[in-house]
Amino acid sequence: MVKQLTVFLENSPGRLARLTRALGDAGVNMRALMVADTAEFGVVRIICDRTDVAKDSLEAAGFSVSVTDVIAVAVPDHPGGLADILEVLGAEDINVEYAYCFVEPGGTSAVDVFRVERVSDAMRALGEAGIRVLRAEEV
Amino acid sequence: MFQPHDETMDRARLDALQLERLNALLSRVYENVPTYRRKFDDAGVSPHVDSLAELAEFPFTVKDDLRAGYPYGMFAVPMKDIVRLHSSSGTTGQVTVVGYTAGDLDRWADLMARTIAAAGGTDEDVVQIAYGYGLFTGGLGAHYGAERLGCATIPISGGNTKRQVQVMKDFGTTILACTPSYALLIAETARDMGIDPAGLSLKAGVFGAEPWSENTRTEIERQFDITAIDIYGLSEVLGPGVAAECECKCGLHVNEDHFIIEIVDTETLRPVPDGERGEVVFTTLTKEGIPVVRYRTRDISRIVPGECACGRTFRRLERVTGRSDDMLIIRGVNVFPSQIEQVLLGIPGVAPYYQVVLSRKGSMDHVEVHVEVSPEVNFDEVKTLERLRGRVSAEIASALAVSIAVKLVEPRSIQRSEGKAKRVIDLRAEGSE
């Protein structure tokens, strides 16, 4: 299980830049950043090293931050790799709220991040199917 | 009760007192203020009445009369008798100047002492005056009332909210006097400082100077664990101290030994019976510096019929939910910003901070309510936010009978007010979009 930071952002010029600058100034390195937008606001999801430092520095800069548990899985780099994983969750009737992926530099596999309804059930099902769920320090 | 002899006088005695004071007022303004002499002559009324009902034949005084006389044209005494000047807060339009004689200040202190006593205040209390001091009547008005009652009075004025919290804690403040929106900011700031507002020694608050809703009262009472009462006044009539709730919180007792209140129909401008809504009109019976006859406040309310359990015989003005000047007309529907506040406070997940933004899209007025998402909301999932926005939108539509666009904004992004909150932002003159 991995801690993800979520920041509620208004859609206005420079807001995302200020967010990333605040993280940069705090010496936080981002692994993944995903922006979900609607017409009026955005929700920015971040996976980074030193989650606590990142959260404090964002709040000090006036952002509203919540911490969410997500599941990160190393997905083999071949056709159907992601489908195998999603079928495991589907078979358990676990709904995926959202997902995104990123590639580790120099790695042979992609990392997929899932937000699911029942995190512990999902972890167990993935484990039983032999799929390796990444620990926080592995991401 | 600070002046029980006056505050519980029987209605027959009160009527006689009002009639006597009214006649003294009418001849005083007729003699000393050219505007009143001209208006009375034009209306064909002589400055004497045989009954209180005859007051309805007299012309109204409006804000423009005071503006036209700016600065001292409406004063009824020579400047040598004026010892204090205040000015209207300029919430709407050009400011006006009001002058007080020593006698006016003395009576004002009594009336504000009544107000603080009605909130449960005694000479044992420590009162923190966080209304602005200065030209605004709120700060000094509450200040002299608190001193008259014998309270230990802290003249901290508005602003520097962290210091407000620190003083409240260190000085053991028991009664807070400020605007309701500022009270909420003080509570929020206290929590930010790691101080539980409900754990302070505060027991009551006297809040006014802006319209506020019953839900805001509930919220303030819960956050500080206090009794919050509504007080009412306007500088043109006196300042704070015109009317205030008692512990029953069922309407604001008008200090009728010093003011005559009328409610008039907004169309015909004729007085309506107790219980019916209309515009609130005041006549000052004892003011010397700048008395007013039938001053139209633009406030919409009604007299609460019946007697109050507290023993005061003064009639009660229902909480003023909005000034007609603040009223927005959205697609033909009258909307007061305080109605929006009432809705928001009933919805978990949004903070009681909002702004109504008026802009122009093409030739159409566009209205949008900006609502702060509460920091406690788990906003990780967009659908949570969409649901919240949908709920706010639906509840506003249902309460106001008009649908208004709702925009969720970041927690703590709407400017906090240290005095009167700015609820309406009008961008229409800027020709946006």
Domain boundaries, chain B: 1-325, 328-430
* Chain B interface mutation, best of A40, A114, A115, highest count of B Cβ atoms under 10 Å: A40
Assign domain A2-68 one CATH number from 3.30.2130.10, 3.40.50.970, 1.20.1250.20, 3.30.360.10: 3.30.2130.10
Q: How many angstroms away from the CA of A96 is the closest CA of chain B?
A: 11
Cβ–Cβ under 8 Å, residues B433 and B360: yes
Distance CA A88, CA B132 (A): 64
Q: Is the ipTM of this complex over 0.95?
A: no
CATH placement of domain A69-138: 3.30.2130.10
pLDDT confidence of residue B432? 39
Distance CA B69, CA B129 (A): 32
Q: In sequence order, what E strands does B29-172 have?
A: 82-87, 97-101, 126-129, 152-154
Q: Does A10 touch chain B (CB under 8 A)?
A: yes
CB contact under 8 A, B407 and A6: no
User: Of B379, B386, B407, which is closest to A8 when you measure between CB atoms?
Assistant: B379
Domain boundaries, chain A: 2-68, 69-138
pLDDT confidence of residue B431? 43
Q: How many angstroms away from the CA of B351 is the closest CA of chain A?
A: 13
CB contact under 8 A, A8 and B382: no
pLDDT confidence of residue B341? 84
CB contact under 8 A, A64 and B373: yes
Measured between alpha carbons, how far apart are the two ends of chain A, in Å?
10
Distance CA B390, CA B379 (A): 14
Residue by residue, pLDDT tens for chain B (433 residues) are 999 999 999 999 999 999 999 999 999 999 999 999 999 999 999 999 999 999 999 999 998 899 889 899 999 999 999 999 998 755 555 678 999 999 999 999 999 999 999 999 999 999 999 998 988 899 999 999 999 999 999 999 988 999 999 999 999 999 999 999 899 999 999 999 999 999 999 999 999 988 888 888 999 999 999 999 999 999 999 999 999 999 999 999 999 999 999 999 988 999 999 999 999 999 999 999 999 999 999 898 999 999 999 999 999 999 987 776 677 777 667 778 888 888 888 898 888 788 988 887 766 678 889 999 888 888 888 888 888 999 999 998 888 877 888 999 888 888 887 777 778 887 876 543 3
User: Of A62, A66, A115, which is closest to B412 when you measure between CB atoms?
Assistant: A62
Which residue bears the tokens 């001292």? B72
Helices marked H in chain A: 15-25, 51-60, 81-91, 119-128
Cβ–Cβ under 8 Å, residues A114 and A121: no
Distance CA B345, CA B340 (A): 9
Structural tokens at position B227: 């009794």
Nearest chain A residue to B386, by CA: A38
Evaluate whether the domain defined by B328-430 bears CATH number 3.40.50.10440: no
In the beta sheet, which residues pair with residue B356? B369, B424
Assign domain B1-325 one CATH number from 3.40.50.12780, 3.40.50.620, 1.10.287.70, 1.10.110.30: 3.40.50.12780
Q: How far out from the chain centre does Cα B13 lie?
A: 29
Distance CA B17, CA B256 (A): 10
One-letter identity of residue B260: I
The pLDDT-based confidence of A131 (bands split at 50, 70, 90) is confident
pLDDT confidence of residue A74? 87
Q: Does A6 touch chain B (CB under 8 A)?
A: yes
Cβ–Cβ under 8 Å, residues B261 and B212: no
User: Of B382, B386, B411, which is closest to A64 when you measure between CB atoms?
Assistant: B411
Nearest chain B residue to A68, by CA: B380
User: Of A10, A36, A66, which is closest to B413 when you measure between CB atoms?
Assistant: A10
Degrees, nearest 5: CA angle B2-B4-B9: 145
Q: How many angstroms away from the CA of A106 is the closest CA of chain B?
A: 30
Contacts of B191 in chain A (CB under 8 A): none
Angle, helix B137-149 to helix B102-118, in steps of 10 degrees: 70
